[in-house]
Amino acid sequence: MKRIVAKEEYCMNCRLCEVHCLVSHSRSKDLIKAFRQERGEIVPRITVERLGAVSFAVQCRHCDEPACVEACMTGALSRDPVTGEVTHDPQRCVGCWMCVMVCPTGAIRRDKSGHVAAKCDLCLETGTPACVANCPNEALVIEEDND
Amino acid sequence: MTSTKYLIIGNSAAGVGCVEGIRQTDPQGEITLLAKETEHAYSRPLITYLLGGKVDEAGMAYRPADFYAQQRVKTLLGVEAAKVDPAAKTVTCADGQVIGYEKLLIANGGKPITPPNLPGSDAPGVFTFTTWQDARDIEAYIAANAVKEAVVIGGGLIGLKSVEALTARGLKVTVLELAPRILAVTLDQDASDLLAGALAKAGVTLMTNTTAQRIDLAGGKVSGVTLPDGSQVAAGLVVLAIGVLPDLSLVAGSAIATERGILADERLATNVADVYAAGDVAQALELISGERRSIPIWPNAYRQGFIAGVNMAGGEKIYEGGLAMNSVEICGLATISAGVTSPPEGQGYEVLTKLDPKTKNYRKLVLKDHHLVGYVLVGDVDRAGIITGLIKGRVEVKGLEEKLLAPDFGLISLPSVHRERVTAGLGVWS
């Protein structure tokens, strides 16, 4: 299973990962338009946390037994049995927030404009997670685990 | 008589979870699933969304249409199980067919409570609301009778979601709640008040400390309800949403042990060999009390079904215990609550609350012995799952209380062992 791993010793709290996540999931795919016009409508699926000098980014951990998938009452959330990715189909989501209630990392956000859950999809469209590609200090890396 | 390796009674969260649990362990063993309802596995909580026009019929599917074919499950839909005979290892159906099993899951769910002494409660225009068919029937009745006003009896989860649906269809709705406040079981007083405010804003009339004494009829159909004080509320439709009880009719008179529900152990097995129970019909371990309780919520049903399936197929999986929790958004106001939300006085509970009078955001945490045992969030419910995880994982939070109460709390404040486990994708228990 591929997972994005945060290296808190390298995170500078610049929050560019949040911005590039937003761009990657925007309509315009343009940083300026996404940040100035679409932000608020859409939410980043990654959150930078900071406490004193320490910071790191959190997004979906693609858990082995995802609590969100168990709790999802519509079937919008599912776990790909082959890749292990936890995927979300906004077409089948009604915004009941059961996933928000159970995600132990708080990684699922509410997209209030569409009234649907929003979570990390590993940028499946492009193949490279935007947060990893744009982290200026390699504080976000992709690691493969074999279990 | 036909026979099957695995027999599953029920086609909702627990039944589907069981199929997925069995198939993780035994890819080939013959599975037969039977259910009273005729529909493919659908999302029961969406019935109010369907009535309210927020999802269409296609959107009701809980799993893709080819799910059972893919999982190699033989389905008998529209077939009602009538009797379980654990000695003969058979299930007899209402249509007379008898099915033998090696392993059985009972996941037939709950049944709506109908008040025993309510005159008029069997009249046309009075409905319970727990099935897809109920949604169709209510919709057809509203259309055929041009219903403009409705009374919902019961201010619990089903009642309020019914209110939302009926309001979305343009009906004027009155809610009758016997308790002093709505969602009295899951929310605390402050959260109930905030939700009552949202209902009032949406034009809903809420009457607490009262219920219907009689359903009034005109021309053989519902025309309203009479309250204990003699006053009347006009309504062309009445929804009975008093509650749901485990449906024990299947096991009545059998050796399978029951209390409120079918008693299930940490493997979701009943006291009788090769018979398992999961979902709303089951009474299994509750996390905080350590007692067996019936907690009829979707996430517990799925997890119980899944774990039962693994164990039925020869695997070993232990149920960690369920937590009563709900995420309820009514008329645009989101609430999430879990565990103990209104603790009794003088039993060592610590309660922390924060209400923002401007935004109406409300947070309440309930602790005991420096461990979280419950919470309520209203409005800003984001990242609630972190708190749920702390309850489930029994993480000591001494010294973190004020941070947890802040709206921007996060993983960074949490004990590192818990934090490392959840960020590794291992969940709260491994």
Could you give the ipTM of this predicted complex? 0.95
Task: Pick one of 3.40.50.2300, 3.30.390.30, 3.40.50.300, 3.55.50.30 as the CATH number of B332-423.
Answer: 3.30.390.30
Residue B348, Cβ density class (10 Å: 0-12 exposed, 13-18 middle, ≥19 buried) = exposed
Interior angle at CA B102, CA B96 and CA B106, nearest 5: 65
SS3 B19: helix
CB contact under 8 A, A61 and B428: no
**pLDDT of amino acid A146:** 62
Task: Please name the residue of chain A whose CA is at the shortest distance from the CA of residue B59.
Answer: A92
A29: CB partners within 8 A, 6+ apart = A23
Q: What element of type H or E holds B16? A: helix B13-25
B298 chain-A contacts, CB cut-off 8 A: 71, 73, 98
Contact A98 B413 (CB under 8 A): no
Q: How many Å lie between the alpha carbon of A37 and the closest alpha carbon of chain B? A: 23
Task: Note the pLDDT of residue B331.
Answer: 87
Q: Looking at the DSSP assignment, which residues form a beta bridge with residue B207?
A: B176
Say whether pLDDT at B251 is over 90. yes
CA-based nearest residue to B9, from B271, B277, B306: B277
Question: Which residues in A lie closer than 8 A to residue B306 (C-beta atoms)?
Answer: 70
Are A126 and A108 part of one and the same domain?
A: no
Looking at the complex, report in whole angstroms how far the Cα of residue B428 sits from the nearest Cα belonging to chain A: 7
Question: What's the CATH number for B2-110+245-312?
Answer: 3.50.50.60
Tens of pLDDT, residues B86-97:
999 999 999 999
B420 vs chain A: nearest CA distance in angstroms?
Answer: 10
Q: Do residue A115 and residue A126 come from a single domain?
A: no
pLDDT score recorded for residue A14: 96
* Residues of chain B above pLDDT 90, percent: 91
Same domain flag for A111 and A75: yes
Residue to mutate among A62, A96, A141, A144, with most B CBs inside 10 A, is A96
Q: Which residues in chain A have their CB less than 8 angstroms from residue B61's CB?
A: 75
Q: What mean pLDDT do residues B55-81 have?
A: 97
A147 pLDDT more than 70: no
Q: Is the CA virtual torsion B133, B81, B300, A79 positive or negative?
A: negative
Domain count across chain A? 2
Query: How many Cβ atoms from other residues are within 10 Å of residue B347's Cβ?
Result: 8
Rounded to the nearest angstrom, the minimum Cα separation between A126 and chain B is 23
| A102 and A115 inside one domain | yes
Greatest extent of chain B over all pairs of C-alpha atoms, in Å: 68
pLDDT band at B25 (very low <50, low <70, confident <90, very high): very high
B317 alpha-carbon distance from chain centroid: 23
pLDDT above 70 covers what percent of chain A? 99
Secondary structure string (H, E, C) spanning chain A: CEEEEECCCCCCCCCHHHHHHHHHCCCCCCHHHHHHHHECCECCCCEEEEECCEEEEECCCCCCCCHHHHHCCCCCEEECCCCCCEEECHHHCCCCCHHHHHCCCCCCEEECCCCEEECCCCCCCCCCCHHHHCCCCCCEEEEECCC
Partner residue opposite B412 with nearest CB, options A49, A97, A100: A49
According to the model, what pLDDT value does residue B430 have?
60
Closest by Cβ to A100, choosing from B49, B327, B423:
B327
- Which H or E run contains B103? strand B98-106
Quote the tokens at residue B352. Answer: 């922390």
Could B382 and A56 be called an inter-chain contact, meaning their C-beta atoms sit closer than 8 Å?
A: no
Residue with tokens 């009794």: B344
B17:A70 CB<8 A: yes
Angle at A75 between CA A73 and CA A79, to 5 degrees: 120
Mean pLDDT, residues A63-82: 95
Question: Is residue A138 left, alpha or beta, with left meaning phi > 0 and alpha meaning psi from -120 to 50?
Answer: left
Q: What pTM was computed for the model?
A: 0.96
Whether CATH 3.30.420.40 fits B126-242: no
Give the whole-angstrom CA distance, residue B191 versus residue B341.
10
Instruction: Assess whether A47 and A3 both reside in one domain.
Output: yes
pLDDT in the model for residue B121: 95
- Structural tokens at position A106: 């708080």
Give the residue range(s) of CATH 3.50.50.60 domains in chain B.
Answer: 2-110+245-312, 126-242
Going from the C-alpha of B411 to that of each of A137, B65, B132, the distances in angstroms are: 22, 39, 40
Q: What is the mean pLDDT of residues B133-158?
A: 97
**Residue A4 pLDDT exceeds 80:** yes
What's the whole-number average pLDDT of chain B?
96
* Residue contact A74–B59, C-beta within 8 A: yes
Query: Has residue B407 got a pLDDT over 80?
Result: no
pLDDT for B7-22, tens place per residue?
A: 999 999 999 999 999 9
| Domain hosting residue A53, numbered range | 1-59+122-147
CATH number at residue A69: 3.30.70.20
Contact B302/A75, CB-based, under 8 Å? no
Closest CB to A105 among B44, B338, B386: B386
A70 and A91 inside one domain? yes
Q: Is the pLDDT of residue B206 over 60?
A: yes
